[in-house]
Amino acid sequence: MTPLEMAQLHALCFETPRPWTAQEFAQQTSAPLVRSIVLDHSFALIRCIAGEAEILTLATDPNHRRRGLARTLLAAIDAHPDIHTVFLEVAANNRAARALYTSNGYRESGLRRDYYRTPEGSRIDALLLEKTLTLRP
């Protein structure tokens, strides 16, 4: 998936936080610690360092949701042999994403008040979520 295709899909999925541009995706995907996981109609970007991964963004085409694509992306992150802890931020009002992460073993570990700005200018809190993966041999 090209940075332009990622930006187009991201724009379908997000209003808050604001969608990333193709240039931002190009910068992220070329960064040495960032990995992309791509499926048809879905992708995730993660930054990996010292056994930890931060999910930078995860997007699934709204016309292809509820088919297990996001769960497949999360499973791919969990299967990465060098990752023992995964972190992410999610908008507090994004119930669907919160339910997805909670059902996949993520727990709330913090709060960033007024972290996201809506297109109208109001603010939304971000919840910090984390998951500790089972150690593998």
Find out whether 42 and 70 touch, Cβ atoms under 8 Å: yes
Task: Identify the band that residue 87 occupies on the pLDDT scale cut at 50, 70 and 90.
Answer: very high
Domains and CATH numbers, the chain: 3-132 (3.40.630.30)
Supply the pLDDT for residue 134.
78
Does the active-site annotation cover 89? yes
Whole-number Å distance between alpha carbons of 54 and 68? 21
Catalytic site residue from 15, 54, 89, 116: 89
* pTM above threshold 0.85: yes
Does the active-site annotation cover 101? yes
Catalytic site residue from 5, 52, 54, 101: 101
Find out whether 34 and 14 touch, Cβ atoms under 8 Å: no
